[in-house]
Structure 1
């Protein structure tokens, strides 16, 4: 089974509204995708900014508040020293989202914590804690692992951000300050960043989408007009091709075929009869003349069916072939060319196609005795003029002739217009016809 695939033209014209809806839908999908991306990026940026802010707060607190108050009594665990240190921590440090502090020595013993049950207990230090302890003045942060023993009293807070800062003890010994921030403050900062940056970003994208809709509507209408124009040109080409085939078939049947059929009958009659030598000579001479005329007609049809190779022979040679066809019909033809051999192949082909159609009309309808065929290159344009002294016609009936099936000139005009050229026809009854074709070079 052979299945024919339908083209878009077969499915009907493109809907302007359909194109606009698809464009708008695609724009909205992109807009939503960008909104989601902006949300993720803004939240991540806000979270990172909040974590950096927590690290800065912890660093300033460690170096400005904790380290100056960390004396030998606190390190030794003396109650009065711890009580004084605890009062300072609760007054100056434990504020806002900072909910817990710990001070460690290098052995992993908790020297101080606002949770007194942790003071004096010893736990193994993690890699981040050891790194901060070794590099004085550095800081690091991570989400608290509440499953670790030293964090068992932070479980009610659910999720915390730990920040480690390396400081010095009263004797210059490495000591670690650890601050715990509520992670909700970090997520709130991310949300705030999203709410701050999202409205202007999404607003700009929405305005861009709205601005593009009129342009998309205009583009869709232009596409629809071009599609209708292509369909019209295609229909003209199909109609012109059908008319051309009918014309060639009619000329073959009424011309060469009839001529050769008559010649065949005459030769058969001579073969079956007993003509004299003089009759035979006259018949042979007449037959040769009729054969030459038939060959000329066939050559004209060949030029119509398969035009000469303009790239090799040039426009002048091709126009001479057309002029020869008119001369064989008894028309006096004057051919003038100037600079046409320098025309690009596409422009030369258009001018020849126009000349072919006009000369055909001259031979078929004008009854002209003299014809001027003039082709030249003028100021970046290729120009063709075909002027005859025939019977002419009423210009106002040109559209009526096209609608009745005379599509040749209309098709040529469409071809020229598609290439940026023009076709001008000037005619009047009894005053001949002048056709001018121009194409840009």
Structure 2
């Protein structure tokens, strides 16, 4: 009876855990991607401000194709510095420096710089880049192969992320008035990072989140399982205690019924039987006056009727034999009061020898309550008690053609006098059902294992 809720909990728990893991993995993956980009942006800003800006020749802002030879020496010197300090690692893949008017004034890939200068191309700065040039900050976007400068970086690399920021040119330690004049000009610094590198970093960050999530969910499931096991044990103990108390109450009730039935049988029944015999003997005595004989016959008949009713009541209080072989006789005694109520009652028992004695006792208890309700409340004209057993399943049906009732119209349809027995039937692995409708009578059906 408790396995089904446990199984449902486990299924729901597993599905919930899976949903949490999937959901947190999605969120962690997004967070890891954002963190990988944030690291690249921070690296770009650090390179621009701390490494490139102090070494960048301010006069390069005047670089054109026609004066490329003039700036050859500072350009080569700066390029060597960049190669030594920045590009000996996998990140960044390439750096560019652009002037405010969109001219490429330095590229760590000199062929890109020369091609751009030869074509007199300028970069059309977008709003985000102009904002970074004017106010500072960092921007990022996926390299666009349709742009010549991006195509050179992205070709054969599996994609690039272009991150840009600004720095301001400085004159360094030079006292040259021309260099002093070129200082303080903002330029746009770009760094290209391979998507594969960022993906690898994202995976590293995500792995940390994954184990944290898995550990948290595992701990939660462990605690929930321990709690469920504890609650299940408490529920089993409570159920066992309730069943014990119910059986104790039924046993006590049976003992009290036996005592009452024994006392009535040994006293009142014997007295009534003796009185009935005595009255009948006096009525048959030839010396008894004729007018008294008729009165004595009526008294004898009344005594015998009362004795029969009392014996039926004793059978209802406690049957003479609750063993399987005695079930048909016990049920016949049980329906005896139906005749007094004007109800035509019948009993049919098949396979009594195949059922266990405790199941026969259960059949009698359920039939007793159903028959009592039918006689007292149904207003029926017929009542049928049917028992069928085939060695495996045992079925009891008590059917009347009375007024019936609407189960939906009462507060508790299971309070049809069978509530206490319902638990016993369920604990025995069976079912107890009450079917009724206004004007259609009532059927009480019990089905349980025969053994």
TM-score category (smaller protein): 0.3 to 0.5
Q: With CA pairs under 8 Å and 6+ residues apart, which has the higher RCO, 1 or 2?
A: 1
Provide TM-score, normalisation by structure 2. Answer: 0.46
Provide TM-score, normalisation by structure 1. Answer: 0.47
